[in-house]
Structure 1
Amino acid sequence: MAHPLMFDDADPVLARVRDLALALPDAAEKVSHGRPAFFTVKVFAYYGGSVKVDGEYQQHESSVMVLLDDDERAALLDDGRCYVPAYLGPAGWLGVDLDAGTDWAEIAELLDASYRRTAGPRRVARLDAATR
């Protein structure tokens, strides 16, 4: 049985995340487990997430989940916007809630960092060459 869609394709916050993620070399989008997932060979970001509290899932519909190195992740864990997502959290993923005051430059940096962990050396070299 397929997962139900857990997003609105017309969501303007998703549109911002989509623009940032798909600007990275060879990035593409697919729906995985009902959520938009951005990937090259491996997924580097998801739009939306959840946490399990007292046996119930609490949705973070307007958020982005990224895979960060341990130091960067640890630094963000105390930030009130951030959460450890269900299922992916133990593997190093971190969710960041997005709202009207979102610093989109920071979100672009987090997407970049996650992309660099998953995209492979040739794509990262292309990204570096494009930002010089």
Structure 2
Amino acid sequence: MAHPLMFDDDDPVLGRLRAITLALPDAAEKVSHGTPAFYTTKVFAYYGGSEKIGDGHERHGASVLVLADPVERPALLDDPRCFHPMYLGVSGWVGLDLDDRTDWREVAELVETSYRRTAGVRRVRLLDQAR
């Protein structure tokens, strides 16, 4: 059974995230578990996630999930805008809520870090050549 879609394709926040993610070499988008996932051979960002709260969970619809730099991860998780996403958090992923105060340069940096950790040497080299 397919997961229900948990996003609006016309969401302007998703549009901004798409512009950042799909500008990276060989990046593509697919729907995974009802949410947009951005990937090359491996996923490097998701739009939307959930956080375990007590016996339940809290949905963070307008958020980005990234595979954080291990050195930066503790500081990110101390930030009230960030959360430990269900299922992926144990593997080093961090969620960041997105709203009208979002610093999109910060989002781009976090997405790029995640991309660099997942995309492979050839794609990272292409990214570095484009910079």
Which category of TM-score, normalised to the shorter sequence, fits these structures?
over 0.9
- What is the match of residue 94 of structure 2? 94
- What is the match of residue 128 of structure 1? 128
Provide TM-score, normalisation by structure 2. 0.98
Q: Deviations over 1:48-81 (max 9, x none)?
A: 0001212222100000000012111112111110
For structure 1, which segment, 89-98 or 67-76, has the greater mean C-alpha deviation from structure 2 after superposition?
67-76
- How far the C-alpha of 1:119 sits from its partner, in A, is 0.2
Q: Secondary structure at the match of 1:96?
A: strand
- What is the match of residue 67 of structure 2? 67
Provide TM-score, normalisation by structure 1. 0.97
Q: Does 1:24 align with 2:62?
A: no
- What is the match of residue 7 of structure 1? 7
Q: Does 1:78 align with 2:78?
A: yes
Q: Secondary structure at the match of 1:45?
A: strand
Q: CA RMSD in A?
A: 0.6
> Counterpart amino acid of 2:112?
D
Provide runs of 4+ in structure 1 moved above 6 Å. Answer: none
- How far the C-alpha of 1:97 sits from its partner, in A, is 0.2
- What is the match of residue 113 of structure 2? 113
**Which stretches in structure 2 are left out of the alignment for 5+ residues?**
none
Inter-partner Cα distance in structure 2 for 1:75 and 1:51: 18
Q: Secondary structure at the match of 1:17?
A: helix
Inter-partner Cα distance in structure 2 for 1:35 and 1:72: 25
Q: Does 1:49 align with 2:49?
A: yes
In the comparison of the two structures, how many residue pairs are matched? 131
For structure 1, which segment, 116-125 or 47-56, has the greater mean C-alpha deviation from structure 2 after superposition?
47-56
Identity %: 66
